[in-house]
Structure 1
Amino acid sequence: MINEKSHRNMTIKKLTYIVFMLGFLFSTAIGFAQSNKQKELEAQRQQKLKEIKLINALLYSKKKEQKSAITLIEDINYKVSVRKNLIRITNEQANLLTREINSNQNEIASLKTQLKELKDDYAAMVVKSYKSKSEQSKVMFLLSSSNFQQAYKRLQYIKQYSNYQKEQGVAIKAKTKELEVLNVQLNKQKEDKQKLIEENRVAKRELEGELKQREELMTSIKSEMGKFTAQIKKKKQEAAQLDKEIDRLIKETIAAANKKTGKTSAKGKFVETPEAKKLSANFESNRGRLGWPVSRGVIKGKFGKRRSLTDNSITQNYKSIYIATDANSDVKAVFNGVVAQIHVMKRGNPAIFVRHGSYLTVYMNLSEVKVKKGDKIKTGQVIGKVFANKLSGESLLGFRIYKNDQVLNPEPWLAKY
């Protein structure tokens, strides 16, 4: 006969089930976090693979003989840097998969235990229900109540017990399905991990080859190090002169724009009209989403201070990024604006300055200019072509961003490729 002791046991089991469900939800939340991290790492890995593909296409499509040893070393060093990042990201993915596999294996073991307990409990309930299944025993259970309130509670309990039996049956099916899904997921994770390990083996072999090639090149120029150091110092002086020239042009651009507003007291900053303020805000809101100034390219030269690859005593502070692209590639405006300045650099090629409110973008090393000063331009509009250097076999676009007269690192402003 069904009794109140059974009711207490059932209540304890329900509480145990609730505690388990809370634990399950917590572990599910952790699983989602790991899954999101895995997606993020995979996106980074795909980006690095794409970058290596572009490096091979843009920097290694010409014969080595066309490039100087210094340029070749720069190219290899850049490729090595990207390759190392690819290996690091792939390692992180494999390690995260290892943790996920271990977690799933523990979860499967736990689910098997819970499934066994559910089945044992369900079997016991079936036996108990069979022994007390007659309507007479239920009626006697109700009639033996000391008062109406107790009888009502017992009636409610009979309904709850019946529902609980159904819930147990449903729970067994759910656990079985969950176990099947986890086993499939586990097998997929093991396959993914093995694939990543194999890809990393290939990447490490390629990295070893690139490091060896770089070492051979470094050895080949040691006898002429003095000559290369002199060339590097000369390039540094030319870059410093270019920076000085651009800074002067930026200040002239700001002064000329402010003169039109009738406010010339502000120095180094644009006096903004309401329209210019709106454009500045729109430009700022697109940080990290600006389109690239070329259809296809890789950032070969980074912004900021860098040491010379051949002479560690020489450092240079780069205010531009240099994007390697296809020969004669179209140059496109990264945002709506007005052409503020077109200037042919001393011992250099044309540059275009485009104003976006209080921001300026500068496009350097052009072979053609397709706009004129004062033109209003749209995002993605072709404004010129990149100069193709026949001696080095390179097409490098110099690109800068200024806020008023302060130069910024352009890379975080551009959308991820």
Structure 2
Amino acid sequence: MDRKKTYKVLLLLCFCLCTTFSFSQDSKQKALETRRQELRREIKKINELRLENQSKQKSQLSLIEDFNYKIGVLNNLIKVTNQQANLITREINSNQKKITKLREDLTHLKAEYAEMIVKSYKSKNEQSRIMFLLSSNDFKQAYKRLQYIKQYSDYQKQQGETIKAKTTELQQINAKLLKQKEDKQKLIAENRVTQKSLEAERKQQRVLMASIKENINRYTAQINQREREANRIDAEIKKLIREAIARSNKKAGKSSSATTFALTPAGRALAKNFESNKGKLGWPVDKGVVKVRYGTQPHPINRSLKIKSNGVRIATEKNAKVKAVFNGEVIAVVNMRNINPLVMIRHGNYITTYKNLSKVYVKEGDKVTTKQEIGEVFTNRITGETILSFSISKESATQNPASWIYKM
């Protein structure tokens, strides 16, 4: 490969690398901006729910959950905004280097172009061109000289076009640089406001925690009571799932001691369809924020205590309608002592459970469709809180709803 071809290959490789890097940066920036807007919407929902309940006397346990949740979201917003600002800084530095390089290229190109114009002007006389051709030793040399004159003229035009293109590129990068600097300043200003909000939340949280620590034993007893209540509900749900599995196996003529559902072809198709929608299922309420997530976690008040959550607790608005997240069949509508009603829906060998309802619109055996209203979330008259407890399981094995519900 000659030097000219090698140079062209290197230029092409450099262009491809620059394009890939630019695309990667843009992609990261878009992803961060999407996440930032999601967090802002989440904070808006938290504030709206707070305003809705501000006249109510929430329990201190609930208030701490609220503070912890909002502090977590604010921290995430600050982190994402900082990442955006840092990425823009890198882009600004990259563009400043490009501008410096383009200016150097333009200076060089303009100098070359000016030199060509001078030479062209000196040899502009048509007679001198004819003499240049006529002084050739033979026809072959005359043809080569004619080609040279044409190539020189084409090169002049090409240089002019290159200067024009580089000047346009420089103007575009300059405009982009100004926009990036403006965007960065906006992000920095927004982060200052978020930081103030975070400090205000932390201050209120510290005051509340100080008063709670004075009566930590009383609050620990309340936490343990709530855990026992949650465990009682979970035990009842597991029992109902075992009974549903036993019924399906008995109907299929199989052992009733089996731990998995005996699925019909329609049941297998439904389960497969449910699985294919993992991460894309709709929320069980139109508007809400997750206050307690899935899994074992330290309690926000007494961190030496571990709480186990087999689902999620979603704070929503008053009179919020509960919707089935997927097609299925109601296998149970449960009314337990001192517990608000819950609904269980089977989707093949998957089950979704909707707890803490005030009204139920369905009954056992009903076929339901995706987004069908199945009830209404209970609102605590004293605290003003409207909390839906939602869980997903495959047979008796609990699943993390955040893995299944879209953007949870």
Please, what TM-score do these two structures have when normalized by structure 1? 0.90
Picking from 68, 74, 77, the partner of 1:83 is 74
The reply to whether residue 66 of structure 1 matches residue 57 of structure 2 is yes
Q: Give the C-alpha shift of residue 277 in structure 1.
A: 2.2
Q: Which has the larger displacement, 178-187 or 351-360?
A: 351-360
Kindly state the Cα deviation for residue 268 of structure 1 after the two structures are TM-superposed: 2.3
- Name 2:227's counterpart in structure 1: 236
Q: Give the letter aligned to residue 391 of structure 1.
A: I
Match of 1:300 in 2: 291
> What does residue 7 of structure 1 align with?
none
How far did residue 341 of structure 1 move?
Answer: 1.9
Q: CA 1:175 to 1:260, structure 2 compared with 1: closer, same or farther past 3 Å? A: same
**After superposition, what is the alpha-carbon deviation per residue over 1:151-172, rounded to whole angstroms, capped at 9, x for unaligned?**
6655555443333222221111
Query: Residue 330 of structure 2 aligns with which residue?
Result: 339
Q: Which moves more between the two structures, 393-402 or 333-342?
A: 333-342
Displacement after TM superposition at 1:348 (Å): 0.9
Higher mean alpha-carbon deviation, 253-262 vs 132-141, is at 132-141
The residue that corresponds to 2:202 in the other structure is 211
Deviations 1:375-404 (A, max 9, x none): 222111101110111123211111111122
Does residue 128 of structure 2 align to residue 131 of structure 1?
A: no
Report the alpha carbon displacement of residue 243 of structure 1 after superposing the two structures with TM: 1.5
Are 1:44 and 2:29 an aligned pair? no
Q: Report the residue type matching 1:261 in the other structure.
A: A
Change in 2 beyond 3 A, CA 1:129/1:215: same
Distance 1:121 1:365, change over 3 A: same
* C-alpha deviation, 1:147, in angstroms: 7.0
> Which residue of the partner structure matches residue 344 of structure 2?
353
Name the residue aligned to 1:391: 382
Q: Does 1:379 align with 2:374?
A: no
The residue correspondences of 1:3-402 to structure 2 (distance < 5 A) are 19=10, 22-63=13-54, 66-134=57-125, 155-264=146-255, 267-402=258-393
Distance in 2, matches of 1:158 and 1:22, equals: 33
SS in 2 for 1:367: strand
Does the residue aligned with 2:342 lie in a helix, a strand or coil?
A: strand
CA–CA separation in structure 1 for the residues paired with 2:7 and 2:163: 15
Quote how far apart the aligned CAs of 1:143 are.
Answer: 6.3
Distance, in Å, in 2 between the alignment partners of 1:150 and 1:14 is 27
Pair 143,351 (structure 1): closer, same or farther in 2 beyond 3 Å:
farther
- CA 1:380/1:135 → structure 2, altered by over 3 Å: closer, same or farther? same
> How many residue pairs end up in the alignment?
407
Shift of 1:52: 0.7
Give the AA of the match of 2:303.
N
Equivalent position SS for 1:362: strand
Q: Provide TM-score, normalisation by structure 2.
A: 0.92
User: Residue deviations 1:323-357, cap 9 Å, x none?
Assistant: 10011210011111222222223431211111222
Take 1:152 and 1:263, find their aligned partners in 2: how far apart are those partners? 95
How many Å apart are 1:150 and its aligned residue?
A: 6.3
Kept in 1: contact 2:330–2:343 (CA 8 A): yes
The one-letter amino acid of 1:363's match is Y
> Given residue 297 of structure 1, which amino acid in structure 2 is its aligned partner?
G
CA distance in 2: counterparts of 1:293 and 1:210, whole angstroms? 29
CA contact (8 A) 1:253 1:341 kept: no
What is the distance in 2 between the residues matched to 1:276 and 1:343?
23
Q: Deviations over 1:87-121 (max 9, x none)?
A: 11111111111111111111111111111112112
- The letter of the residue matching 1:299 is V
- For residues 153 and 97 of structure 2, the distance between their equivalents in structure 1, rounded to whole angstroms, comes to 33
Q: Say which is worse superposed, 203-212 or 163-172, in terms of deviation.
A: 163-172
**Distance in structure 1 (CA, Å) of the matches to 2:130 and 2:268:** 83
Shift in CA distance, 374/144, structure 1 to aligned 2, threshold 3 Å:
farther
Corresponding letter in the other structure for 1:300:
K
For structure 1, the residue ranges without an aligned partner over 5 or more in a row are: 1-10
Partners of 1:82 and 1:262 in 2: how far apart? 51
Secondary structure, counterpart of 1:342 in structure 2: strand
CA contact (8 A) 1:44 1:89 kept: yes
Q: Do the aligned partners of 1:59 and 1:394 also contact (CA within 8 Å) in 2? A: no
Checking the alignment, whether the CA contact within 8 Å between 2:247 and 2:256 is kept in structure 1 is no
- Can you list the C-alpha shifts for 1:177-231, whole angstroms capped at 9, x where unaligned? 1111111111111111111111111111111111110110011122211111111
